[in-house]
Chain A
Amino acid sequence: MQRLFQIPILFILLVMLAFSSCRKDYGNLNSPTVEQFLSNASQSQLNNLVSGAESGMRTNTALYLDDAGTIGREGYRFSASEPRYVTDLLGANDGTLSSSNFYITNPWASRYQVVKNCNVLIQAATASTLITAAQRNGYTGFARMIKAYQLLLNLNLTDSNGIRIDVSDPDALGPIVGYNDALAAISSLLDSAQTDLTGAEVVFSLAGFAGFSDAPGLLKVDRALAARVDVYRGLWANALNDLNSSFFGLTADFYLGVNHVFGTGSGDQLNPAFIPQNQNGEVRVAHPSYATDIESGDDRIGKATLRTSTASLNGLSSNRDVWVYTSSTANMPIIRNEELILIYAEAKIQLSAFTDALTALNTIRAGHNLAPYGGTVDQPSLITEMLNQRRYSLFYEGHRWIDMRRYGLLGQLPIDRVGDNVWSEFPLPVSEQQ
C-alpha cells in the first residue's frame, strides 16, 4: 500500500515542477527575420534590404551567361566535373533539357530571391513611419525597377513557357503568365517604378550605379531597361521614347551604364564569370565561329583571346578563351550605352529610318575600328548587320540567344556535333509545374 501512497504524490509534484518550469524560446540567434523588417523598419534596415537586393542580383549570373551563351553558341563551358554544360545545354544525343537541373533551377531561384527581397522592401517601406513619402517612393521605385529586371532575366530563359508575376504571397502565388503578357507586366512594373521615382528622394547607397544613384539617375536606368523590353515587344516608337529619357547617347561612352560590381570585402562576391586565361579543366571558351565570322580589324576579337593550348571536351574544341570579364573584381554590365545605341538602330531600322539607323550602326563600327557599313541598305540587310553588331558588342553578356530567338533565326546557329540541338527555351523548373 505504501507505494500507492508515495508514488502518485511524488509524481504529481514532479509534473507540477516540470510544467511550471520556464519554457525557453531562444529566438533566431543568427540573423534578422522578415517580421522584424515589416514592423516599422528604420532607414538603415531599409538600406540593408536595398544592398541585399543589389548584391543578390549577382548570384548565379555566371550560370545565366553560360545558359544563354552556350545555347546561343557564343561559347562553351568546359568542366571536368559537370558534364551537363556540354551535353544538356547543347542538346547532345537528341536529349532534353531537364526541369530539375541546376541550369534552370538555380538562376531561376536566385532571380526570384531578389524579387522576394524587393517585395519585402516595398512592404517594409510602405509600413515604415520613420521615412518621408518622397523617401518611401525612392525605395519602392528602386524595388519595382529591380524586380522588373529580375523577372525579365527569367523570362529570357523560359520564353513561351512564361513566368510568375504575382509572387508576393508565397502561399498563394499568382498564375504562370505567358510570354507576351509577362513582357507587358514587366513593362508596366517599370512604368510604376518611373512614377515612384519621379520626384522621389533617394536616401540609400548603391554600389554599381555610379552616376545614376539619385532619383533622376535611377529614372534613366529605368527607361533604359524599358527600352530593352520595348524592342522585345516590337514597340519600336516606345523604344525611341524611352531611350530619350534614358542615358542613351550616340557619342557617349559605350560602357556608360550600370553594373554588377564585385569585391573581396567581407560577405561580398567575386565575379563568378571570371576564369583566368589558359586554364585547364574548368574553362569558358569562345565558340570557334566567333573568330571565324569576325570582320578583320574588329577590335572585339579581344573578347576571345587565343589560348596557349586548345581546350577540348567531348567532341568540342576551342582555342580562344572568353575574355569579357578580365578579373575577379571586373564589372558585369546590367545595361550600358552600347546596347542602347543598338536598340536605337534596331528601332530605327524597324521604322524604316535607315539613315538614323546607319548613324548608330556606324558609331558602333567606328568604335571598334571598322569602316562604315558598306552593304545593302534595306530592312533585312540592316537587321542582319544590327544582329551581327549585337553579337560582337554584347558578346557573352547574355543577348545572342535571345536576339536570334526574337528574329526566328535559331536555325542559323551552328551545330557542332551530330545529334546536337539548339533549344529555344528552358522548361519551367519542376517546382513550378504544379
Chain B
Amino acid sequence: MRKIIIFIMALLCAVTTPYRLLAQTRVLTGKVMEKNGQPIAGASVIISQSNQGVVTDADGRFKITVPGNASVVFRSTGFTSQTVRVPQGMAELNIVLREDVTGLEEVIITGLSTSIKRSNLANAVATVSSRELEGVAPAQTFDGALEGKIPGAYINANTGAPGGGVSVKLRGVTSVYGNTQPLYVVDGVFVDNTATSGGLNTVTGALAGGSATSNQDNPSSRIADLRAEDIENIEILKGASAAAIYGSKAAAGVVVITTKKGKPGRTNLTLSQDAGVIEVRKLLGVRQFTADRAASLSSDSATSAALRQEFLDAQAAGHLYDYEKEVYGNKGFARNTVLSVSGGSEKTSFYFSAGQKDEAGIVKNTGYRNTGLRLNLEHHINDNIKIGVSTAYINSSADRGLSGNDNAGVSLGIALSSTPSFAQLHPDQFGNYPNNPFAASNPLQTIALMRNNEGVNRFITGLNLEAILQKSRNSTTKFIARGGFDFYNLETNVLFPGNLQFQAVNKGTSIQGTTRNLNDNFIASLVNIYTPSEKLSLTTSAGITQEQGDYNNLLNVATQVISSQSNVDQAGSLTAAQFRSKFENNGVFAQEEVAILDAINVTGGIRFDQSSNNGDVGKYYVYPKAGLSWNLTKMGIIREGFFENLKLRAAYGQANNVPAYGSKFTSLGVSNIAGFPGSLVGIQEGDPSIKPERQAEFETGIDFTVLKGRLGFELTYYDKTIKDFLMQGSLPSSSGFTSQWINAGDLRNRGLELGLNAKPVDTRKVSWNTSVNFWLNRSLVTRFIIPPVPQGSFGYVLGSFQIEQGKSATQILGLDGTGGVSKLGDGEPKFQMNSYNEVTFFNKLSLRFLLHWKFGGDNVNLTNLENDFGGTSADYDKVTNKLGLPNGIYRISQIGTSARMFVQDASYFRVREIGIYYSFDKLPVNSVKSIRVGVSLNNFITVTRYPSYDPEVSNFGAGFSSGVDVDPYPASKRADFHVSIGF
C-alpha cells in the first residue's frame, strides 16, 4: 500500500515537473566550435539532469529553451564534454570544446541496448574510428583494414590472395577446433563470417581421401564483404567480461560495428576517388643455375647429361627465366570510387553511399571487385518514438588463383618449387603451352587457363526501434528493439580446362558451388534509467534475444568436361555434395548498471542461453557478468592535481561458444560404387551430450590521465579461462573414427594490455596525436582429458601443434635432432606493439601512420622446404652449415631427424600504413566545399628475418593452427593516390 502511494506521488511529481520548468524558461542560442574556430555540427546540447536537449546544425549553431537557473552540457564525439552554468539573463553562449585526446568521453556500448562513457567503463574496450580504419592507407578488404589496430588481438592474414581472409583472435586462442573467430555485429545484425570452400581439394588433393573440400582450400572470410568506408566506428569487446551480454557465440569476443548515420543540417555530398598499384611484398629469389647445377638435378647419368645440355641450350638462346617473378610479379591496378551523401532534418536523417572498387592481383587473372550500396535512415515519428533502418547491398567478386598446399603439384608455388630457370614454359605462337618437364603443371598455363572465383550478392538490413514508454523528471523507460537479417548468395566458380597439363586424368574439371545463407536475429529489451538524485543513476535493462541461421551449400563437381565448356552438365562425370546447417539460439538477459556520483559504476547482469546445436537443446545455460569502476579523483579520494581521472576497474563475465552444427551426430556419408548407393560411417563420432564451451573472464585495470588530459594511460590485466573447450579430439582410428567433437578440457589465457594516448605537440601550427599500445598473452592448457596428439599441421617430422596439459595451447612440437620430440616453438607472439600517429600542420596537412611490431611467435615454414626439395631455392648452393654441404642438400638431409629448421621465428616490424593528406577548404568555386588529396602506402615496409614470403600466413585458414606456411599466395603491398571532394 505504501509503495502504491509513493508511486502515485512520484507519478504526480513526474507529470507536474514540465509545468514547473515551463514557468521560468527562456531561449538560449549559440555556437559550438573547435579550438581553431571550426564549427562542430551534430554536437548535443543538453540541460543538465534532464532528458531535454538539441543538437547543433551544420554551422555549429543551436537554440534551446532552458529553465531559469540551469546548467547545460555540451557533448560531441571526439571532444571533452563541458558543463556550463547559464545564469539568469544570459541569451547567447559560444563554446569551444577541447579535443578528447584520451578518448575518455567516448560512449561505449555496454549492453545490448545501453551505453556508457569510457571514463566510467569497467572494461578495456578497444575502438577503431573511421579515420583509423580507412583514413590512413586503406586496405583491400575490411578484415585487412583491422590489422595492427586492435590492442589485445592477434590478427593474421591467411593469404595474400585478392578478397582477403584474415584470422582474428582476441586475447589468445579461445577454442581449439571450435569457433576461434569473434562475432561480428553490424548495426545490431549478427553477420555471418563462414568461409566456404569452392571445392579446390578436388584438384589439389591437399587433404587425402577424395573429399571435394578441405580446410586448405583457401577461401575468403565473408566479413571481407563489408565496406570500410561506410563504417563510423568499431568497438571490440575482447572477452566475456565485456561481451557476456551477447551470450551464445560471444566467447571469442564481439566486434561491434556501427555504420555512418546522417546528421541534421546541410546535405553533404562527398566524392572520393582512389587509384593505386598493388605489387608483391617480397620475392624469395630463385637459384642461379649453372651447367653443373642443372646436371645435378638428376642422379641418372644420361638424364644428367641431357639436363646439362638443356641448360646450355637455354643459356645460349637467352632463354633463362625468373619464373617466380613472372608468376608473382604482376603490378595490379587498383581503383576505388565512393560517393556518399548525408544529411537530414530534425525528424529524419539519412546516409547514402555507393562505391565500387576494382583491383588486380600480383598474379595475372586474379583480382577483387566490390560494389556496394548503403542507405541508413533515421526517423523520429514523434518525440517518443524513433525508428532506424540500415540497409546494405554488396556485390563482390574475388579471383583468388591457386595457391597453398597440394598433393598433385598444381598450385603455383608447388609447381614453381621444382621448376628451374632453364625450363621452357612459354606458349608457342598459337598460344599452346608446353608441358612442364620439371613439375606436374606449367604455372604459366595454369594462370592463363584456370578460374577460381567467389562471387557474392549480399543484403544486410538492420532495424532499430526505440520508443519512450514513460518519461518523468528522473525516470525514463524505453522499449528498444533491434534486429535484422544478413542474406547472401555465394557462387563459387572453379574451372580447370582439360588442356591443362595436370588434367590428363580428369580431362577438365568444373566445380560450381552455390551457397545460400540467411542469418537473422533480434533483441527486444526494456530499459529504465532512473535518476533519483544527481548522485545516483540506475539503468535497468532486460530482454530476450534470438538468432537463427540457415546455411545451404551445394557443390557440383564435373570432370571429363567438354572442351571450352564450364557448365556442369557439359561433362562426362558429375558428382554433387551438399551441406546444410541450421541453428536457433535463444537467450534472456537482465542487466543493472548503477552510477554513483558519476564516479562509481557498478554493473551486474545475467543471461540464459539455449541452442539447437547443444546436445540438450532445451537446456538453458546461465552466464553472469559484473563490473565495477571507481574513479578516485572524481570521488575526491585523490586530489585532482598531477593525476586526473584516476580510475580503478574490475570486471568479470561469462560467455559461451556453442558446438558446431552436427557435432552430436554419428553420420554416414555417401560412398557409391558402380551405381550402387553406399553408406559409409563417417570418420567423426558424434557426442550426443556435447555442451557449449564456457569462457569466464576476469579483467582489472587502472586508467589515468596526466598533464591536463594530454597524456592518458590505460593498464589492463586479464585472466580468462575456457572451460570444456570444444575440440575435434583424435580418437584411436581403429575405432573407425578419427575424430570426435568433445569438451576436451580447460584452457587459460592471461595477458596484459598497456595503452598510452598523448598529444606531445599542440601548437597553433602543429599538433601531434599519438597512441602507443603494448599487449601480450600467454595461454596454458590446465586440463586435457584425452591423450595429446599432434594436430593442425603435418606431424612431428615437419613440426606440429599439440594440445597438452600444462603446456601452452599454441606450442609447436617436432623432431629435435636427438631422436626425440621436443617443443620447438610457439605460435603465440611474445608481445605486440602498435602506434598510431597523426601530425597536423596548419590544420591542412596531415601525416598519419600506423606502426605494428609483433615480437616472437613461430611459424611452421614449409615453403622453403618445397623449394629445397625441388632444387630451386635461392640459397641452395650456399654453404653455411657445419657439415660443409650446400645448404639445400644439408636441409634435406635433416628431414626426418630434426624439424627445427621448419619452426621459425615470425617476428616482424611493419609500417602498416602511412598516408599524407592535404585539405583545401577555401576554394574559389562556391559549389565545392572542400578538396582533400593524399598519397598512402599500405604494408610497404616490413622488417623481418622470416625467410618465406611473409610472416603472416595460414595454410589452414582462420582456425586454430594459423602460421603454417606452404606456398601461399604471396602478400602484397600497395600505394594509392586519393582525391576526395566535398560539395
Q: Chain A: residues with CB nearer than 8 A to chain B?
A: 1-7, 10-11, 14-15, 17-19, 21, 23-26, 28-35, 37, 45, 47-56, 58-60, 63, 79-84, 87-88, 92-96, 98, 100-102, 105-106, 108-110, 112-117, 119-120, 163-164, 167, 170, 173, 205, 207-208, 261, 263-270, 272, 274-276, 279-282, 309-310, 312, 314-319, 328, 419, 429-432, 434
Q: Can you list 25 A-B pairs, Cβ within 8 angstroms, ordered by A?
A: A2-B7, A3-B475, A3-B477, A3-B538, A5-B3, A18-B544, A26-B582, A31-B670, A32-B667, A33-B666, A34-B681, A54-B673, A54-B676, A55-B676, A79-B409, A81-B409, A87-B895, A93-B893, A114-B680, A170-B737, A173-B734, A207-B675, A266-B575, A268-B674, A434-B787
- CB contacts under 8 Å to A, within B832-885, are 865-866, 869-870
Q: Name the contact of A113 in the complex, choosing from B436, B588, B680, B794 (C-beta under 8 A).
A: B680
Please determine whether B732 and A53 come into contact, CB atoms closer than 8 angstroms: no
- In the bound complex, residues from chain B placing their C-beta under 8 Å from that of A10 are 526, 542
* Residue of B299, B528, B580, B583 with most partner-chain A CB within 10 A: B299
Question: B108 to nearest A CB, angstroms?
Answer: 23
Q: Name the contact of B475 in the complex, choosing from A2, A29, A309 (C-beta under 8 A).
A: A2
Question: B278 to nearest A CB, angstroms?
Answer: 28
Question: Which 6 pairs across A and B sit closest by C-beta, in order of nearness?
Answer: A116-B736, A95-B896, A281-B440, A51-B678, A317-B300, A264-B573
Q: Name the contact of B671 in the complex, choosing from A55, A119, A270, A282 (C-beta under 8 A).
A: A55
Cα A25 to Cα B357 in complex, Å, equals: 42
Cα A2 to Cα B451 in complex, Å, equals: 66
B533 sits at the interface (CB 8 A): no
Q: Name the contact of B679 in the complex, choosing from A32, A270, A419, A429 (C-beta under 8 A).
A: A32
Please determine whether B528 and A3 come into contact, CB atoms closer than 8 angstroms: yes
Question: A90 to nearest B CB, angstroms?
Answer: 10
Against A, the Cβ 8 Å flags (1 = close, 0 = not) of B406-427 are 1111010011011000000000
- In the bound complex, residues from chain A placing their C-beta under 8 Å from that of B6 are 1
Question: B444 to nearest A CB, angstroms?
Answer: 15
Task: Evaluate whether A47 and B676 lie within 8 angstroms (CB atoms) in the complex, with A26-B582, A34-B668, A279-B504 already known.
Answer: yes
Please determine whether A432 and B732 come into contact, CB atoms closer than 8 angstroms: yes
Please determine whether A37 and B668 come into contact, CB atoms closer than 8 angstroms: yes
- In the bound complex, residues from chain B placing their C-beta under 8 Å from that of A167 are 734-736
- In the bound complex, residues from chain A placing their C-beta under 8 Å from that of B896 are 87-88, 92-93, 95-96, 98
B584 sits at the interface (CB 8 A): yes
Q: Name the contact of A207 in the complex, choosing from B414, B673, B796, B866 (C-beta under 8 A).
A: B673
B579 sits at the interface (CB 8 A): yes
B521 sits at the interface (CB 8 A): no
B771 sits at the interface (CB 8 A): no
- In the bound complex, residues from chain A placing their C-beta under 8 Å from that of B208 are 60, 63, 102, 106
- In the bound complex, residues from chain A placing their C-beta under 8 Å from that of B794 are 101-102
- In the bound complex, residues from chain B placing their C-beta under 8 Å from that of A87 are 892, 895-896
Question: B11 to nearest A CB, angstroms?
Answer: 7
Please determine whether B662 and A28 come into contact, CB atoms closer than 8 angstroms: yes
B581 sits at the interface (CB 8 A): yes
Please determine whether B869 and A164 come into contact, CB atoms closer than 8 angstroms: no
* Residue of A19, A26, A264 with most partner-chain B CB within 10 A: A26
- In the bound complex, residues from chain B placing their C-beta under 8 Å from that of A28 are 662, 665, 667
Against A, the Cβ 8 Å flags (1 = close, 0 = not) of B591-609 are 0000000000000000010
B209 sits at the interface (CB 8 A): yes
How many A-B Cβ pairs are below 8 Å?
Answer: 355
Question: B822 to nearest A CB, angstroms?
Answer: 14
Question: B442 to nearest A CB, angstroms?
Answer: 9
- In the bound complex, residues from chain B placing their C-beta under 8 Å from that of A267 are 575, 670-672, 677-678
- In the bound complex, residues from chain A placing their C-beta under 8 Å from that of B671 are 51-52, 55-56, 59, 267
Against A, the Cβ 8 Å flags (1 = close, 0 = not) of B40-73 are 0000000000000000000000000000000000
The segment from B87-95, B268-276, B682-690, B906-914 found at the interface with A is: B682-690
B897 sits at the interface (CB 8 A): yes
- In the bound complex, residues from chain B placing their C-beta under 8 Å from that of A434 are 732, 787
Cα A370 to Cα B948 in complex, Å, equals: 56
B761 sits at the interface (CB 8 A): no
Question: A322 to nearest B CB, angstroms?
Answer: 15
Please determine whether A173 and B733 come into contact, CB atoms closer than 8 angstroms: no
- In the bound complex, residues from chain A placing their C-beta under 8 Å from that of B670 are 31, 267
Cα A10 to Cα B686 in complex, Å, equals: 40
Q: A31-B668, A98-B796 are in contact. List 16 more A-B contacts (CB 8 A).
A: A29-B581, A31-B667, A34-B668, A48-B677, A49-B679, A60-B209, A95-B895, A98-B795, A105-B733, A167-B734, A173-B735, A264-B573, A266-B575, A309-B306, A319-B300, A430-B790
Cα A315 to Cα B297 in complex, Å, equals: 8
Question: A16 to nearest B CB, angstroms?
Answer: 10
B405 sits at the interface (CB 8 A): yes
Task: Evaluate whether A261 and B674 lie within 8 angstroms (CB atoms) in the complex, with A17-B544, A281-B436 already known.
Answer: yes
Q: Name the contact of B542 in the complex, choosing from A11, A45, A56 (C-beta under 8 A).
A: A11
- In the bound complex, residues from chain A placing their C-beta under 8 Å from that of B617 are 23-25
Q: Name the contact of B676 in the complex, choosing from A26, A173, A207, A317 (C-beta under 8 A).
A: A207
Task: Evaluate whether A113 and B302 lie within 8 angstroms (CB atoms) in the complex, with A29-B581, A314-B892 already known.
Answer: no
Q: Name the contact of A6 in the complex, choosing from B477, B666, B795 (C-beta under 8 A).
A: B477
Q: Name the contact of B672 in the complex, choosing from A51, A83, A110, A116 (C-beta under 8 A).
A: A51
Question: A169 to nearest B CB, angstroms?
Answer: 8
B635 sits at the interface (CB 8 A): no
Please determine whether B732 and A164 come into contact, CB atoms closer than 8 angstroms: yes
Chain A interface SS verdict (over half):
mixed
Chain A's closest residue to B541 (CB) is A7
* Residue of A45, A87, A312 with most partner-chain B CB within 10 A: A312
Please determine whether A82 and B407 come into contact, CB atoms closer than 8 angstroms: yes
Task: Evaluate whether A274 and B409 lie within 8 angstroms (CB atoms) in the complex, with A51-B676, A264-B559, A280-B435 already known.
Answer: no
Q: Name the contact of A328 in the complex, choosing from B418, B505, B869 (C-beta under 8 A).
A: B505
* Residue of B298, B415, B578 with most partner-chain A CB within 10 A: B298
Task: Evaluate whether A23 and B618 lie within 8 angstroms (CB atoms) in the complex, with A3-B475, A92-B895 already known.
Answer: yes
- In the bound complex, residues from chain A placing their C-beta under 8 Å from that of B894 are 93
Chain B's closest residue to A205 (CB) is B676
- In the bound complex, residues from chain A placing their C-beta under 8 Å from that of B866 are 80-81
Please determine whether A265 and B573 come into contact, CB atoms closer than 8 angstroms: yes
B303 sits at the interface (CB 8 A): yes
Task: Evaluate whether A83 and B895 lie within 8 angstroms (CB atoms) in the complex, with A24-B584, A63-B208, A100-B795 already known.
Answer: yes
- In the bound complex, residues from chain A placing their C-beta under 8 Å from that of B10 are 1-2
Question: B188 to nearest A CB, angstroms?
Answer: 18
Question: B526 to nearest A CB, angstroms?
Answer: 5
Cα A59 to Cα B673 in complex, Å, equals: 12
Question: B799 to nearest A CB, angstroms?
Answer: 11
B365 sits at the interface (CB 8 A): no
Please determine whether A316 and B299 come into contact, CB atoms closer than 8 angstroms: yes
Task: Evaluate whether A30 and B734 lie within 8 angstroms (CB atoms) in the complex, with A87-B895, A95-B897, A317-B303 already known.
Answer: no
Q: Name the contact of B870 in the complex, choosing from A34, A80, A266 (C-beta under 8 A).
A: A80
Cα A310 to Cα B306 in complex, Å, equals: 10
Please determine whether B679 and A52 come into contact, CB atoms closer than 8 angstroms: yes
- In the bound complex, residues from chain B placing their C-beta under 8 Å from that of A431 are 730-733, 738, 789
Please determine whether A80 and B544 come into contact, CB atoms closer than 8 angstroms: no
Chain B's closest residue to A4 (CB) is B3
Task: Evaluate whether A276 and B559 lie within 8 angstroms (CB atoms) in the complex, with A24-B584, A281-B415 already known.
Answer: no
Cα A33 to Cα B684 in complex, Å, equals: 11
Task: Evaluate whether A80 and B796 lie within 8 angstroms (CB atoms) in the complex, with A52-B680, A55-B672, A317-B303 already known.
Answer: no
Cα A89 to Cα B370 in complex, Å, equals: 48
Question: A143 to nearest B CB, angstroms?
Answer: 13
Cα A306 to Cα B908 in complex, Å, equals: 51
Task: Evaluate whether A80 and B735 lie within 8 angstroms (CB atoms) in the complex, with A3-B540, A28-B667, A95-B895 already known.
Answer: no
Q: Name the contact of B299 in the complex, choosing from A80, A281, A312 (C-beta under 8 A).
A: A312
B519 sits at the interface (CB 8 A): no
Please determine whether A282 and B440 come into contact, CB atoms closer than 8 angstroms: yes
B572 sits at the interface (CB 8 A): yes
Please determine whether A18 and B542 come into contact, CB atoms closer than 8 angstroms: no
Task: Evaluate whether A33 and B573 lie within 8 angstroms (CB atoms) in the complex, with A1-B6, A93-B893, A429-B733 already known.
Answer: no
